[in-house]
Structure 1
Amino acid sequence: MEAFHFLSFTLLLFSCSFSAALRYPASHRNEIGPDSNTHSVNGQAERLIRSLNLFPKHEANLVLNDRFAAKNAPGITEKQFSLNVTGGGNGPSIQQFGHYAGHYSLPTTKAAKMFYFFFESRVNKSNAPVVIWLTGGPGCASELALFYENGPFQIRDDMSLQWNDHGWDQAANILYVDQPTGTGFSYTTDDSDIRRNETDVSNDLYSFLQEFFKGHSGYVKNDFYITGESYAGHYIPALASRIHKGNSDNEGIHVNLKGFAIGNGLTDPEIQYKAYPDYALAAKLISKSDHDSITSNLVPPCQSAISACDFGGEDACTEAFSTCQEIFNSIMETAGSINYYDVRKQCEGSLCYDFSRMEQFLSDDRVKSALGVKDVDFVSCSSAVHNAMMGDWMVDYETGIPNLLENGIKVLIYAGEYDLICNWMGNLNWVNAMKWSGQAKFQGASIVPFVAGNAKSGELKSYGPLAFLKVYNAGHMVPMDQPKAALQMIQGWMQGKI
């Protein structure tokens, strides 16, 4: 395989993003405690939540209260809402387009309701693409992206909203979905509805999209794109394959799928975990001797465990996660308090980011009333959902992408250069290794500058429907770190200019 070297980079790191209720009876509340073992599976979930300065009331949005069962009517319950946007930005009048929030009763569950936001585009909404955004974790709410990355507005320090001049609603009609069940404002009254694999996750999302397009039939003809970051590197290929199958089998409404974009994603763990020591060495997080030791002693057991996961089911895959995570833990023990979402930064104690304004805003009774979720608590990141998906973590979701490419579905893989946890090196490696009819030509394609405005903002490699973009001066959350470049990226890609 031809080696592919990007131009100069400084520090690069890994992170697979993380997002997460209703009124539980007191006996069922499970506060996240401070003394968790951070090297256990459950401890990792809690550590990730704390690193974002989030303090969800519950482990999952599981409502053990019979009075909610009566609310599980079939279909979608949706309302148009208006929040007071007072600060900054160049947004139009809120009356000029629709902002919607709703719950969808998932038909293949006992009592699950999926929550979503839908924002009509600020520009040419009738013809603009429809984009769905999925936040990773697994188990984190998509409101993280809505308020801190690419949504129509952002939360200011005084808890007021201001327009985001680089919101992706400038280029598309955009859906933000809280999923899997138990995350954000998505809830259930039965814990058997908590998902454990991508088959159930993608079926839930496909079912939701069918119902959404019934209610918003004017958008059925519009191009449709799937986007997201981090653990959505699992969600997105699975959903794209499910939509493609539904279209091929003439199931329900034809979803006009044109492509999908994964930002700093976890897609092919075998290749991406192997890249950790290489990235950490290049980023000067570890020494050459550390790199060689990790590569010799920790990578081979990880590769063997992933092979066992391929055939051994959920338990084997959970064991593979624990084995492979030793690679990352070893790097972090050497790197110290580095922010693994953005290696240019240090974490202060357990705090790497402060997203607490989102929890405060979405816990305000006036906001909840406007959204139609007055009786529902908000679970920013669900440790229970995170833990339930551990058997899914090490599964390779690259395998379904070649078929989509061969059928003309566009694929954009992008990564901020300073992210460790889902670093650009590991992502590029799996994209290069993917076997499809255009593999050799993609590998041999020239690297060209990606320019946003008048600034060189990244390095692009592409052939046919496949593109890979390394974004400069960005960590794990590219739309947050480089909002102008991210908007131009998604807009140009959907328009066929990337």
Structure 2
Amino acid sequence: MNARSLTPLLLLLSISTLLPSSFQNPSTKLYPGSSHRFAETLIRDLNLIPGIQEIDGDSPADDPSSPRLVERKLKLDILGDIGSGISIEELGQHAGYYQLNHTHAAKMFYFFFESRGSSSDPVVLWLTGGPGCSSELALFYENGPFNIADNLSLIWNDYGWDKASNIIYVDQPTGTGFSYSKDIRDLRYNEKGVSNDLYDFLQAFFEAHPKFLKNEFYITGESYAGHYIPAVTERVHRGNKEKEGLQINLKGFAIGNGLTNPSIQYGAYADYAYSMGLIGEAAHKKISKIYPICELGIKLCGSSGVITCFASYVLCNSIFTSILLVAGNINYYDIRKKCEGELCYDFSNMEKFLNQKAVRDSLGVGDRKFVSCNTLVYEALITDWMKNLEVGIPALIEDGIKLLVYAGEYDLICNWLGNFRWVESMEWSGQQAYSAAPMLPFTVDGEESGQLKTFGPLSFLKVYNAGHMVPMDQPKAALAMLKRWTKGSLEYEEHTSLVAEI
């Protein structure tokens, strides 16, 4: 072994001298002792997994003569007031599969909901993180056209983002949700594969929906989508510049409570936990000693590492687990709450709804069982975890593509402080002016709902009384944010109220 090959091992060994004794010999089942189980458990926790299932049953039939994108209009029974002048019969709600280019046998599943406002509203792509968690989590519990009740009825969401946009929810990467492949070679291991697949999907989507091609287009999402979103935005922008296909009217991208620059964000864990009273001064000092080695691990991971990236993953996430061992049974997606059950949230109603035969038939997914979060997908992307996706963002905003980073104040896992710090430290031509910009109140219906910092194409919004999933915790503020941002200014409240019309 040469010195370079020993580096990951030395990093792993060195971390043990810094960890609290309770972490080295954990008594709770949540933090098993082996490196493999440790990493697996951490991924599961970080990915908000609401129950892992294996896909079974037959997949939809493949017909070589059929088009690559097959979509059907949905006829959903949704209770309540639609909150729009458009009738349910006129409203376009769709689900479909796209047979991905440049794969062996992969099909990407998506929902598409036309705006309850105007067909000229922006087209918004939503990506849930994980990696490997279905965007149906956002659709049913955050910003979709409807919410799901305990009796599995669908109820119109007064603050669904389809009230201000034509919104697409995609299950990606391959293997996520209803997306699937018959060939294991279609798993994605990095953001190049993820972004290329989504670019191919978008080309096919706009070819099938040409009336939306000139609409403004925005890429949004949360959590691990802090990796996906910059990569996909860069891919779309590059495709436009190189005239590869249809010109997509890309205007901006928004990252909600995301993981984008791990080196900076992991450095904020202990500080955030201490500022929120989750740990005391002694624990803060001890846990903070882990960070320099974590930072070194991320540096060695670089843009193409494998073993060093896995080592840095284990090293850096020991910061997070050390905090939890001190903080106790908190919901690390919303520290105001207790973690109820092993996964902190209960999304079982969504699984029950989507696994009904009548629903599967209407969606065109055959006998394929819905998978909320896929273990194989997140394991495939484990060495992608510590990559820095902030590095490509300055070129995008220099070209006038605007960025909004927003974060709920009570999320620990992708906390607002870490997001604020990486945005603040990002080097671009407007960095000094952005740094000098004041924090302004973000008001909704006359009530202060957050703090906003903005200059030119770059904005950061800290959202009050929200955890990891801002549109779930503060739906009215989240819809106001989307409407103002896509219309050009987050600073000023519209004169028209966002209160639902009932």
If the length of structure 1 is used for normalisation, what is the TM-score?
0.89
Give 1:97 shift. 1.3
SS at match of 2:378: helix
Structure 1 contact 339–352 (Cα < 8 Å) conserved: yes
When residues 290 and 35 of structure 1 are mapped into structure 2, their CA distance, relative to the original with a 3 A threshold, is: closer
Instruction: Compute the displacement of 1:294 (Å).
Output: 1.2
Per-residue CA deviations over 1:339-359 (Å, capped at 9, x if unaligned) read 000000011341411111000
Give the whole-Å Cα distance in 2 for the aligned partners of 1:478 and 1:418: 10
Q: Residues 37 and 55 from structure 1, CA distance in 2 versus in 1: closer, same or farther, beyond 3 angstroms?
A: same
Distance 2:394 2:146 in 1: 36
1:339-350 aligned at under 5 Å gives the runs: 339-350=331-342
Q: Which residue in 2 is equivalent to 1:476?
A: 468
Work out whether residues 85 and 162 of structure 1, in 8 Å CA contact, stay in contact via their aligned partners in 2.
yes
| Alignment counterpart, residue 178 of structure 1, candidates 171, 176, 179 | 171
Task: Please list, as runs of the form range in 1=range in 2, the aligned pairs for 1:258-297 lying within 5 A after superposition.
Answer: 258-296=251-289
Counterpart mapping for 1:48-63 below 5 A: 54-58=50-54, 61=55
Please tell me whether the aligned partners of residues 450 and 462 of structure 2 are also in contact (alpha carbons under 8 angstroms). Answer: yes
Match of 1:41 in 2: 39
Match of 1:257 in 2: 250
Instruction: Tell me which amino acid in the other structure corresponds to 1:453.
Output: D
Unmatched tracts of structure 2, length 5 or more: 1-28, 491-502
Counterpart contact for 2:53–2:374, Cα < 8 Å: no
Alpha-carbon RMSD: 1.9
Q: How does 1:74-473 map to 2 (within 5 A)?
A: 75-87=68-80, 90=83, 93-125=87-119, 127-296=120-289, 298-310=290-302, 313-473=305-465
Q: For the Cα contact (< 8 Å) 1:457–1:485, is it kept in 2?
A: yes
Give the letter aligned to residue 338 of structure 1: I
Letter of the 1:93 counterpart = S
Q: Deviations over 1:50-81 (max 9, x none)?
A: x65x33321xx588x79855579551011001
Q: Deviations over 1:326-378 (max 9, x none)?
A: 10010010011010000000113414111110000000111111111122211
CA-CA distance at 1:319 after TM superposition: 1.3
For the residue of structure 2 that corresponds to 1:118, the secondary structure is strand
Per-residue deviation, 1:94: 1.9
Q: What is the SS of the residue equivalent to 2:198?
A: helix
Whether the 8 Å CA contact 1:83–1:367 is kept in 2: the answer is: no
- CA distance change for structure 1 residues 337 and 220 in 2, over 3 Å: closer, same or farther? same
2-structure distance, mates of 1:173, 1:267 = 26
Report what 1:22 is aligned to.
none
Residue of structure 2 equivalent to 1:9: none
The structure with higher relative contact order (CA 8 Å, sep 6+) is: 1
**CA apart distance, 1:282:** 0.2
Residues 396/311 of structure 1: CA separation in 2 closer, same or farther (3 Å cut)? closer
8 Å CA contact retained: 1:72, 1:113: no
Deviation at 1:314, TM superposition (A): 2.0
Distance 1:289 1:71, change over 3 A: farther
Inter-CA distance 67–281: structure 2 relative to 1 (3 Å threshold): closer
- Report the TM-score when normalising by structure 2: 0.88
Task: Give 3-state SS (helix, strand or coil) of 2:258's partner.
Answer: coil
What does the per-residue CA deviation read over 1:168-206, in whole Å, with 9 as the maximum and x for residues that have no partner?
000000000000000001010011101110000000000
C-alpha contact (below 8 Å) 2:42/2:317 kept by paired residues: no
Identity level (%): 54
2:179 counterpart letter in structure 1: S
Q: Does the 8 Å CA contact 1:140/1:381 hold for their aligned counterparts?
A: yes
Q: Distance in 1 between matches of 2:301 and 2:142?
A: 34
Conserved in 1, the CA contact under 8 Å of 2:188 and 2:380?
yes
Map Cα deviations across residues 306-337 of structure 1 (whole Å, 9 max, x no partner): 01101661221111101111100100100110
**Kept after mapping to 2: 8 A contact 1:72/1:105:** no
Shift of 1:497: 1.7
Shift of 1:87: 4.2
The ranges of structure 1 where at least 4 consecutive aligned residues each deviate by more than 6 angstroms after the TM superposition are none
Distance 1:67 1:176, change over 3 A: closer
Corresponding pairs, count: 458
Shift of 1:36: 9.1
Do the aligned partners of 1:86 and 1:160 also contact (CA within 8 Å) in 2? yes
Aligned to 1:16: none
Distance (whole Å) between structure 2 residues aligned to residue 40 and residue 346 of structure 1: 22
Letter in 2 for 1:85: I
In 1, Cα distance between equivalents of 2:303 and 2:472: 38
SS at match of 2:116: coil
SS in 1 for 2:270: helix
Assess if the C-alpha contact under 8 Å between 1:41 and 1:387 holds in 2: no
**Inter-partner Cα distance in structure 2 for 1:454 and 1:299:** 41
CA displacement at 1:37 relative to structure 2: 3.9
Deviation of 1:48 (Å): 5.3
Instruction: Flag the 1:87–1:36 CA change in 2: closer, same or farther, 3 A.
Output: farther
Matched residue of 1:122: which SS?
coil
Unaligned runs of 5+ in 1: 1-33
User: Are residues 312 and 56 of structure 1, via their aligned partners in 2, closer, same or farther at CA, if it must alter by over 3 Å?
Assistant: closer
> Which one-letter code corresponds to 2:97 in the other structure?
H
